[in-house]
Amino acid sequence: MGSHGTNDSLESSVKIPTIKFTKLFINGEFVDSISGKTFETIDPRTGEVIARIAEGDKEDVDLAVKAARHAFDDGPWPRLPGSERAKRMMKFADLIDQNVEELAALDTLDAGKLFSMGKAVEIPSSADTLRYYAGAADKIHGDVLKMSRDFHAYTLHEPIGVVGHIIPWNFPTTMFFLKVSPALAAGCTMIVKPAEQTPLSALYYAHLAKLAGIPDGVLNVVTGFGPTAGAAICSHMDIDAVSFTGSTEVGRIVMKAAAESNLKVVSLELGGKSPLIIFDDADVDMAAQLALIGILYNKGEICMASSRVYVQEGIYDKLVKKLVEMAKAWVVGDPFDPKVQQGPQADKEQFEKILTYIEHGKREGATLLTGGKPLTLGGKGYYVEPTIFAEVKDDMLIAKDEIFGPVLALAKFKTIDEAIKRANSTRYGLAAGIVTKDLNVANTVSRSLRAGTIWINCYFAFCQDCPFGGYKMSGFGRDSGLEALHKYLQVKSVVTPLYNSPWL
C-alpha cells in the first residue's frame, strides 16, 4: 500500500493564494459571461469549492472570435516582425518566472498537482516553451521552388488566422503554453478554452499576457464546459483551426464538428496506452524506477503514461519485486507537502472511473500485487493508491482502455517479436519505452513500434526541440519542436513568369 502522506498542517508553509481572476478574458478585458452564469472549480484534496468562475457559452465565444478576427485581419499582431512578437513573448516568459509560486499553487489547488514540481519544473519549463517559440518566430520561412519552366515561384508560410485551443486539465500550464506559444510565434490570434476542472492558471496567464504587451484580442480565454464553449469553438464558422488535447472520444466530436461547420484544420492529441518493454539485459534498479515513474508521474494523469509494462522472463521476478517495493514506499498525500510524491486525482469523476477499472482488473483475473484502494486525507479527497496488476492479458479491459490513473498492467514476455507484437496490439500509438543495452534491439524495436515517441533507457524525456504526438487513434499533429508550428501555418505558393533567365 502506498504510504499515506503526512497530516502536518501546511497552511503555514504555503500561502494558498487568493483567486484574483475569475472572469472571461475577451479583447483585453476581464468580463462576465453574457448569461451571467458561473461554475464552481473544486479542490480535489477536499472536494470543496475554491471559487466560482464565469461560465462562457456560444455567445461569449462569438465575442471572443470577433475580437480575435479583428486582431488578425486588422490588428498589429501578424503585421509585427517575428522578432517583435518574440520580444513580447520573452517578456511574457519573464512575468511567468516572476510569479511562479502563485501559479504553481493555482495548479495544485485546481488539479492536485505537486506544488514542488510545479514550482521547480512545470511552470519554469512553460516559460521556456514561450522562449523557444519566440526564438523561432523570425525564422519561419518558405522555400524558393525549382521550376521546370520559366517561372519564379516561392512558398509563403502564412499564419493560418484565428485558432481555437481546447486544453485539458492534467497539465493546465504546460498544455496552455504548448499550444499558445507556437500560435503566437506564427502570428495567429486565438481563443483558449481551458478545461472546466482547471480554469485558474489560464486566467492568470491572460492577465500576464496583457502586461507583457500582447495586444488586445490576440489571446482570449473563455472558461466553461466542453459541450457548450468547447463545442462552440469546434463548430465556429470563423475559426480557421482548432487544436485539441484530450480523450479520444471527445477528439471524434471535435473533428466531426469541424467537418460539419467550416472544415477548419484540426489537430488532435488524444489518449494512449503506451507500452514500456524491459529486456533481460536491463539494469533492474533503473528499469524499475522508469516503470514506476512511467505510471505514477502526475498520478498517472498523463497521456503518454507507460500503463502497460512488458518484462522479459529472465529479469521478471527481480524487476517485479523491486517495482512493488518502490510502489509501496511511494508517498501519497497533500500536494503542497514537499515530501509527498503523488496528490489526489483531478476530480471525482476521474477518481470513480479509476476505481471502476481496478474492480474490472480484479474481476478479469489479473493478479493484484499492490494497492487497489482509495485513500482519503481527513476523510476527504480523491486519492488512489499506486496499483499494480500482474499477469494481465492483452484482451483485458485494464490492458486495452486508458485508465488515466496510477494503475499499471504488467505482463511477462519471451522473445523480441512477441514484445513488438503485443506492444503494437492497441489502437493507440502515443509513446513507448524500451530498456536494453543492446544497440540492435534498440534500433529494431524503435523502428517497429507504431508510436509517435520512443524513449530508449529513459521515459518522459521531454525537450523543447523534440516533437511528440500520436500515431493511429492517438491523434495527428505534433506538439513541441518546430513541427508544432505547422498546425498554425498554411502554405501559399506564388508564381510569376520569368524572362531571359540565365539559368533554370
Positions marked catalytic: 269, 303
Minimum CB distance to a second copy smaller for 13 or for 501? 501
Minimum CB distance to a second copy smaller for 49 or for 498? 498
- The Cα 320–Cα 298 span in angstroms is 22
Strands 431-435 and 468-469: unpaired
Q: How far is the CB of 268 from a second copy (least distance, A)?
A: 7
Strands 407-413 and 308-312: parallel
H-helix or E-strand containing 127?
Answer: helix 123-136
Rule CB under 8 A: choose which of 256, 321, 339, 363 binds a second copy.
256
User: Is 478 a residue that touches a second copy (CB under 8 A)?
Assistant: yes
Minimum CB distance to a second copy smaller for 59 or for 465? 465
Residues 6+ apart with CB under 8 A from 170: 111, 298, 301, 302, 303, 346, 404
Minimum CB distance to a second copy smaller for 89 or for 265? 265
Strands 431-435 and 407-413: unpaired
Query: CA distances (Å), 185 to each of 88, 112, 119, 129, in order?
Result: 10, 31, 25, 11
C-alpha cell at 78: 501578424
In the chain, the amino acid numbered 196 is E
**Number of chain positions touching a second copy (CB under 8 A):** 61
User: Is 72 a residue that touches a second copy (CB under 8 A)?
Assistant: no
User: Is 492 a residue that touches a second copy (CB under 8 A)?
Assistant: yes
Q: Could you tell me if 115 and 346 are in contact, meaning their C-beta atoms sit under 8 angstroms apart?
A: no
User: Is 465 a residue that touches a second copy (CB under 8 A)?
Assistant: yes
Q: Could you tell me if 282 and 269 are in contact, meaning their C-beta atoms sit under 8 angstroms apart?
A: no
User: Is 155 a residue that touches a second copy (CB under 8 A)?
Assistant: yes
User: Is 255 a residue that touches a second copy (CB under 8 A)?
Assistant: yes
In the chain, the amino acid numbered 44 is P
Question: In the window 8-37, what residues touch a second copy (CB under 8 A)?
Answer: none
* Site track for a second copy across 416-435, x = CB under 8 A: -----------x--------
Q: How far is the CB of 281 from a second copy (least distance, A)?
A: 15
Residues in the chain: 504
User: Is 120 a residue that touches a second copy (CB under 8 A)?
Assistant: no
User: Is 491 a residue that touches a second copy (CB under 8 A)?
Assistant: yes
Minimum CB distance to a second copy smaller for 98 or for 443? 443
Q: How far is the CB of 94 from a second copy (least distance, A)?
A: 18
User: Is 270 a residue that touches a second copy (CB under 8 A)?
Assistant: yes
User: Is 260 a residue that touches a second copy (CB under 8 A)?
Assistant: yes
Residues 6+ apart with CB under 8 A from 214: 77, 88, 92, 184
Question: In the window 212-251, what residues touch a second copy (CB under 8 A)?
Answer: 240, 248, 251
User: Is 471 a residue that touches a second copy (CB under 8 A)?
Assistant: yes
Rule CB under 8 A: choose which of 384, 452, 485, 488 binds a second copy.
452
* Closest to 190 (Cα-Cα) out of 211, 213, 216: 216
| Greatest pairwise CA separation for the chain in angstroms | 84
User: Is 481 a residue that touches a second copy (CB under 8 A)?
Assistant: yes
C-alpha cell at 203: 486566467
C-alpha cell at 221: 480565454
Q: What is the DSSP letter of 42?
A: E
| Residues near a second copy (CB under 8 A) | 145-149, 151, 153, 155-156, 240, 248, 251-256, 258-260, 262-263, 265, 268, 270, 427, 442, 446-447, 451-458, 461, 463-469, 471-473, 475-476, 478, 481, 483, 490-497
